[in-house]
Amino acid sequence: MNAPHPAKVAGIDATVPAPAHTVAAVAPGASPAAPQAAAAPGTPGAPCAPGTLLQDRLAGWVSDLTTLHELTERLVRTDSLADGLQEVLCAGAALVGARRGLVVLEPADGLGPDTTVGLGLTRADLGHLETVPRGSLSYGRILDGLPVGAGGIAEPDLFADQGLDPRHREVAGRLGYAASYALPLSAEGTGRLGAAVWLYDEPAEPGERPRHLAGLYVRYATRHLAHLREVERTRASMATMAEELLPSRLPRVPGVQLAARHRTSPRGGGDWYDALPLPDAGLGLAVGSVTGSGPSAVAAMGRLRASLRAYAVMEGEDPVAVLSDLELLLRLTEPARSATALFGYCEPALRRITLAGAGHSPPLLIGERRTEFVETSVSAPLGMLACWEAPSVEFQAQAGETVLLYTDGLLHRTGDPADRAFARLHAAAACVPRAKRQDPDAVVEHVLRTVLPEGAAETDSEEDVVLLAVRFD
C-alpha cells in the first residue's frame, strides 16, 4: 500500500527543497540503506507520521520565509547603492555560511556605475584579486556573459582543482580562501548588473537549501539594486549638469583671490554663483537661487546666470540696473518662477564693492578685527512684484579681509531657525584660524565644515549650498 501523500498547502512551492532538519534520522549503528525496524512512537528511530512530517516541513518553510523577510526588509531600508551592495554581501554570507566575499557591479548596458565592494577584504586584497585572469574566476565568467546554472557556480575545493590558474592559486593562498560560491546579479527585466561571490576559509560548498534561499534573495536584491543604480545615475547626471552650468574656473584678477564651494541636491537645484572680469578692471560677483528643483530648475538657473552675465558686461557698474533687467526678463519669460539674487560690482584696486540684493541673505565680512554682516536693503525676490527696484549699498574692505557670499541653502541645511542659523554662520566665520585667513579656499572650507559638521555638507539634502569668497590683498 502506498503511503498517503501530504495535503497541498496554499502558498507553498512543492519544488522548494525540504529543510535540512526534516531529513529522517538514521538509528545509531544501522546502515543508511537498510530498512528501519518498527519502533514504538516517541522512541529514537521511530518513523514520523505523515502529519508530523508535514508540520516539520511547514515549520522549516516558515523559518525560511521569516529569514528572507527580515533580510529583504533590511535591504529595502538602504537608500544608496554602496549601502545596498554591502547589505547584499552580508545577507548572502549569512545564507551560504561564508565569512568573506565581494560584489562586482558591472551593468551589461555599459552605462555604469562600475564598482567593486568587499566584505572582509581590504583594498589591497581586492587589488590582488584583480591581478587574476578574469576568465579563471567564477564571478569573472559570469561578468563575461558565460552561461551559469540556476544554482550558481560552486568551487568547493580550489586547491584540489588541477586546472586552477597558477595566479589564482597564488592569490587564494595569500588571501587564505579555499572555496567559493558565486551568483549572478540578474533578474527578469533588469538584465545583468554584475556578480557576487562568497569565499570560504576551508573547502566547503553550500547545500541545496542555502543555494535556493540565496538565489531567491539575490533575484529580489537585484531589482532593488537596479533601482538604486538608476537613482545613482540620475544624481550623477544632475550634478554634472549643474556643475557644467557653473564656472569651470574662477578668473584671476589682480588685487583679489577667489574661492568657491558648491553642493547640489540629488534632484538638482537652482543655486548658482559667478565671478567675471568686467571693463575698467572691474569684477562682477553674483550668487543666486531659482525656486524649485529638478531638471527644469537647473535649466532655469543656467538661463538666468547667462542673462546676468550679459547684463553685467553692459551695465555692471550699476548693480540695481543689472537686477532690474534680470527681473524683467524673468517676469516676461518665466512668470511662474521666482529667484533670489545678489550682484556686486567690485573694484579691486579700491577694495570697494557696490551691491544690490533681491531677497538674498547679506554677505559676511571676515577680517582680523571684525566679523560682521554687511547691511543691505530689504527687498523682495525677483519675480514677486510687478516691478522690482531697491537701492544699492557700498562698503569698503581692508587689506587681508574676505567677503563671503552664500545662498540660503547653507542656512537651511543646519535645520535651525533663521536667527540661530545666522548666529552659527557668524560664529564659524569668526573662529577661522589666523593661519587660514590668508587663503580664501581654506576660509570657505572651514566655514562649510563648521556650519555643517560631521559630513552634513556631503549628505543628501533638498537644499543646494553655494559659497563664494573674495579676499582682498
Instruction: Delimit the domains of the chain by residue range.
Output: 47-236, 245-472
Instruction: Record the pTM.
Output: 0.63
Give the cell for residue 24: 529522517
**Strands 191-200 and 153-155: what pairing?**
unpaired
Query: Which one, of 407, 375, 405, 404, lies nearest residue 391 by Cα?
Result: 375
Q: Give the H or E element holding residue 100.
A: strand 100-105
Question: Quick one: CA dihedral 412, 414, 419, 424, positive or negative?
Answer: negative
Please tell me the predicted confidence (pLDDT) of residue 21: 42
Amino acid at 282: G
pLDDT digits (tens, 9 = 90+) for 342-378: 999 999 999 999 999 888 889 999 998 899 998 887 7
Which residues lie below 8 Å from residue 45, measured CB to CB, with a gap of 6+? 25, 26, 27, 30, 36, 37, 39
Q: Does domain 47-236 have CATH number 3.30.450.40?
A: yes
Please tell me the predicted confidence (pLDDT) of residue 447: 93
Please tell me the predicted confidence (pLDDT) of residue 10: 31
pLDDT digits (tens, 9 = 90+) for 117-147: 999 999 999 999 999 999 999 999 999 888 8
Average pLDDT by stretches of 10, the chain with 473 residues: 38 43 37 39 54 78 88 91 94 94 91 90 94 92 85 92 93 95 88 93 93 92 92 78 78 92 79 91 92 82 90 91 90 87 93 90 90 84 77 89 92 89 93 90 93 74 87 92
**Strands 339-347 and 282-293: what pairing?**
antiparallel
Q: Name the one residue in this structure whose C-alpha cell is 592559486.
A: 169
Query: Which one, of 222, 286, 255, 295, lies nearest residue 75 by Cα?
Result: 222
Give the cell for residue 397: 574692505
Neighbours of 388 (CB within 10 A): 22
Q: How far apart are CA 259 and CA 251, in angstroms?
A: 10
DSSP conformation letters of 20-60: GGGSPPPPTTS-TTSPPPP--TTSTTPPPPHHHHHHHHHHH
For 325-364, letters b (16+ CB in 10 Å) and e give bbbebbbeebeebbbbbbbbbbbbeebebbbbbbbbbbbb
Q: What is the homologous superfamily of the domain 245-472 according to CATH? A: PPM-type phosphatase domain (3.60.40.10)
